[in-house]
């Protein structure tokens, strides 16, 4: 048996194991077997490790001091597959990102500044992007208690504001990787689908719910209990992954690039009932959306996915822009967008403009989360 110092944090609606990079081998090729054993994969229950048997609780954050001139810490995100011997470093997790700042302060990697807030500058190695985390602090420590609530997490806590700096082209180098606001994907067995491929904080493939036989109101159990629907959605995602150059064979997308692009279903605002039986009215939201995560329906909504959704909503002609709530004059304010997901509402904002060369610019995207330290100690792995 081997042992490894680690910390468990809840970040947003995800939970992950946080590890000091210095505790891992310098050869990153040796990380995968360690992380798989640590989380108890491959096993649908992850009974032999720290994983929680869902994609949102099978995550790892690897942290180190940064030599980046504008950052305090480096952060590498790892999505550990549950039932496959696979660790993916493609893309970032915005929810786990919300715990990186508190972790860095808790571990003394970043000193607490005067006042009620400390800014932690994070360099995400997966996307080569910078995130500014605004963490509430008090008496030289992270302040976890507060009055901010997020859908999908019980209770209230202090808010962590995340500013994703220049999020466009996180993995593809372009906000619109194909140069188009919409593309037609020819999906074997299922036909052609109009989609939007947008890369902001993470790359997403958006499709209108009605085009795939959904309403957008479905709960995760409704979609996950339908094998034909899961196959259809993964096939669309797989063809999108090939289009983006993430894999060569769409039938192998679940093995080669399981986390990105994120498959996202959008619809116009409509009344629906959450997984907890709470009613959400159409007038409370700007868009109705469902997201897939590791080939199953996300129980909530990925933060990086929400930032990309907010960005796509502000781009004229995208699938998202066509269904988002607009003002009477047809305008749309991207500074705040309320996304209705299976657990409730999620508010995000994005700065977006068109420059003198008629190019779309995204200076920053904002998300609002909470985080909590759960435990720290020693974990054992084989």
pLDDT tens per residue, range 356-377: 988 999 999 999 999 999 999 9
| pLDDT of amino acid 334 | 84
Where b means 16+ CB within 10 Å and e means fewer, 10-32 reads: bbbbbbbbbbbbeebeeeeeebb
Helices (H), the chain: 31-39, 94-106, 220-224, 227-243, 253-256, 303-313, 319-323
A 10 A CB-CB count for 182 gives 16
pLDDT of residue 57: 98
The per-residue pLDDT for 114 is 87
> What separation in angstroms does the CA of 315 have from each of 207, 239, 253?
15, 23, 27
Q: Which pLDDT score, from 0 to 100, does residue 333 have?
A: 81
Helix (H, G, I), strand (E, B) or coil at 11: strand
Distances (CA, A) of 379 to 175, 367, 368, 374: 40, 31, 30, 14
In residues, how long is the chain? 382
DSSP secondary-structure letter at 39?
H
Query: Which domains does the chain show, CATH number per domain?
Result: 2-168+370-381 (3.10.310.10), 183-354 (3.10.310.10)
Give pLDDT < 50 ranges for the chain: none
Residue-level pLDDT at 335: 85
Task: Name which of 134, 141, 131, 185 is nearest 159 in CA terms.
Answer: 134
8 A C-beta contact, residue 6 and residue 380: no
Enter the pTM of the model. 0.92
């Amino acid at each position: 048996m081997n042992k490894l110092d680690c910390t468990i944090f809840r970040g947003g609606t995800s939970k992950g194991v946080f590890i000091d990079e210095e505790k891992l081998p310098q050869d990153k090729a040796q990380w995968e077997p360690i992380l798989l054993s640590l989380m108890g994969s491959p096993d649908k229950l992850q009974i032999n490790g720290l994983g929680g048997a869902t994609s949102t609780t099978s995550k790892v954050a690897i942290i180190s001091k940064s030599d980046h001139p504008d950052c305090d810490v480096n952060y590498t995100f790892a999505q550990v597959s549950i039932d496959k011997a696979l660790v993916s470093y493609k893309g970032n997790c915005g929810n786990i990102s919300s715990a990186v700042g508190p972790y860095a302060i808790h571990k003394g990697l970043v000193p607490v500044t005067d006042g009620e807030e400390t800014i932690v500058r994070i360099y995400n190695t997966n996307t080569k992007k910078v995130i500014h985390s605004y963490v509430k602090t008090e008496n030289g420590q992270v302040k976890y208690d507060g009055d901010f609530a997020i859908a999908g997490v019980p209770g209230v806590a202090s808010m962590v504001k995340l500013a994703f700096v220049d999020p466009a082209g996180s993995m593809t180098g372009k906000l619109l990787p194909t140069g188009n606001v919409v593309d037609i994907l020819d999906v074997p067995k299922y036909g052609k689908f109009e989609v939007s491929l947008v890369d902001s904080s993470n790359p997403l493939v958006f499709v209108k719910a009605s085009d795939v036989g959904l309403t957008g109101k479905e709960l995760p159990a409704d979609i996950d209990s339908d094998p034909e629907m899961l196959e259809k959605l993964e096939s669309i995602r797989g063809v999108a992954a090939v289009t983006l150059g993430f894999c060569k064979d769409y039938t192998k997308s679940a093995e080669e690039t399981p986390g990105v692009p994120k498959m996202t279903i959008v619809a116009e605002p409509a009344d629906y009932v959450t997984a907890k039986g709470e009613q959400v009215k159409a007038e409370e939201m700007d868009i109705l959306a469902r997201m897939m995560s590791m080939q199953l329906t996300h129980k909530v909504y990925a933060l990086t996915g929400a930032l990309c959704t907010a960005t796509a909503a502000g781009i004229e002609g995208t699938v998202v822009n066509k269904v988002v709530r607009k003002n009477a004059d047809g305008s749309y304010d991207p500074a705040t967008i309320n996304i209705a997901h299976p657990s409730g509402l999620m508010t995000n904002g994005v700065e977006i403009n068109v420059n003198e060369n008629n190019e779309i610019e995204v200076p920053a995207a904002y998300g609002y989360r909470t985080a909590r330290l759960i435990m720290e100690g020693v974990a054992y792995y084989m």
